[in-house]
Chain A
């Protein structure tokens, strides 16, 4: 099982990251009335356009000189690969990323633009690579996207920013894919104030953490959702007990509510969220204010295709 990092570990990582990352602002959600008390944490404004840089840079920076010299590798649908390529370039080392051959072309191109090497394989092979620890047979220093301790601690810097900017927050809504973001941000927040509620959020179409919590152990679920950023069918055995102990609840969100949240963030807050990036807001909007109090919703990413965006814009015009 993964151990919960200490507040000092989180603070040390946040210090290392200070000059690299953007301290993203908390922006009031403007779609509801003035007293909705929902704040958005838009990590889409993060350098390299996603929160992943926090954890990945911290992990690469934490490697020894010898480990760095081997070059680094990871497994990613796109954002982690970009963050890895960017971090590797910073340290002057090579970066190789196993990516599903279904990854969006702009993400693959972005990895190359930062000097990374994408290795495209079928999605089933990607999950096998992770489950069977196939990286152990390769010569690179491997940065596991979900369970690497330093990735988790780096992501925690996001939680410390929330506690600095909104010390009176009651509830934080965090989307779950592999669980690295949830684990890092959630445990950093609890380290500062254990009474803040942590709600994990998943799409109804891919409830891997919800199912694991209900069954008391990880089980593989089928994933059918537009939220490609969190479409991970399995919470790993190392991750599950750690997350289970950390969270206050897991909330499920319909595809329709995700689309409505994307529209709302677009029109009222002038930002483009990808489906997984709109999950947390969609969840907060279905919990009464009396139950959630002052809330922060992570807006994790904005890599949405123009086609899907136009489809969602047109739905609105049809209403």
Chain B
């Protein structure tokens, strides 16, 4: 297994220059809840093009590659936001793009990927997960962009940490959704380098929290997980190469309830007028539950891609 190291600060600063103009410098705003257990701030990555932070990593990986590497276009394995991030940016540059998806991927996501001009290959879920380990799939050519463990992708994600520190230098804690681990480890690389006193937490949902279980066990373990509307994070295991990095960089994983996430989505919509998807609202749910302690807490609202029916249910006060 390849060992991953924290991303060096100079690579993250280089990424910031590289992707400026392609991504939004997202705003940091105060959550409008007066009786919260902390001063909670929202880093609104849901306002990015394609509605998630993924464009930062995708753009940095593509812009870091040589013309020769890009000759045959780019490809990735993802059924969700990363596929859209890579496809969106490939289209901006006029590059070909292919996406490998698990055969049970929902049609709404596939439609969104196709609309961005990418080709789609469906494979069994097991084979799809395997791509994250092998970084290869028969028939795929061009530059492979790994959704989370590619250092260029993590460096792109790390630029979020630079912006947080520019806007709120005296932040006490930062809470970040944990799916593959590329977002939390990218942002944590920045924060550790610039201010080791800041607490950096991963955040998972109770129905699928393999990082918390693995941190407890001291090694990657598999868990039983229940699929839910929080589809941006949560599988039944952690990727071993990411686990060692996550254990080194993060102060733990805050596990939040599904009810808490529903309520956080509703609060953000009603009070701050922004739309978050389940994964994006998880850090806010954790902070509101007091899991991240007191002081100034930044919650990375990673994305806003949620279906109409699910959002309607949540605004009506129901579990989707």
Interface residues of A (CB under 8 A from B): 22, 24-25, 27-28, 30, 34, 44-45, 47-49, 106, 113, 266-267, 269-273, 301-304, 306, 309-310, 313-314, 316-317
Contacts and interface: CB of A to CB of B under 8 A. Distances in A.
B312 A310 contact: yes
Contact of A269 (B26, B29, B47): B47
B140 interface: no
B280 to A, nearest CB: 9
A304 B275 CA distance: 13
Contacts of A306: 270, 315-316
B272 A30 contact: no
B296 interface: no
B315 A22 contact: no
B271 interface: yes
A204 B214 CA distance: 60
23 contacts: A22-B27, A22-B29, A25-B24, A25-B27, A25-B47, A27-B24, A30-B49, A44-B273, A44-B274, A45-B273, A49-B271, A49-B273, A113-B34, A266-B275, A270-B275, A271-B275, A272-B273, A272-B275, A304-B273, A309-B269, A310-B315, A313-B308, A317-B309
Given A49-B273, A272-B275, A310-B312, 14 more contacts: A44-B273, A44-B274, A45-B44, A113-B34, A270-B47, A270-B276, A271-B273, A271-B274, A301-B273, A302-B273, A306-B270, A306-B315, A309-B269, A310-B315
A302 B273 CA distance: 5
Given A270-B274, A302-B273, A306-B270, A45 B34 contact: no
Contacts of A106: 270
B30 A47 contact: yes
B308 A49 contact: no
Contacts of B316: 306, 310
Contacts of A47: 29-30
Contacts of A316: 308
Given A269-B47, A270-B47, A309-B315, A24 B27 contact: yes
Contacts of A30: 49
Given A49-B32, A306-B315, A310-B312, A270 B51 contact: yes
A34 B32 CA distance: 33
A303 B273 CA distance: 7
Contacts of A27: 24, 47
Contact-residue bracket for chain B? 20 to 34
Nearest to A22: B29
A45 B49 contact: no
A272 B269 contact: yes
A313 B309 CA distance: 8
A202 to B, nearest CB: 22
A229 to B, nearest CB: 13
B46 interface: yes
A13 to B, nearest CB: 22
Contacts of B29: 22, 45, 47
Interface string B36-54: 0000000010110101000
The interface centre, meaning the residue of B44, B276, B312 with most chain A CB atoms within 10 A of its CB, is: B312
Interface in B250-280: 269-276
Nearest to A30: B49
The interface centre, meaning the residue of A48, A113, A272, A303 with most chain B CB atoms within 10 A of its CB, is: A272
Interface in B12-64: 24-27, 29-30, 32, 34, 44, 46-47, 49, 51
B2 to A, nearest CB: 35
A265 to B, nearest CB: 10
Interface in B215-258: none
Contacts of B309: 317
Nearest to A313: B312
Contacts of B271: 49
Given A22-B27, A25-B27, A27-B24, A273 B273 contact: yes
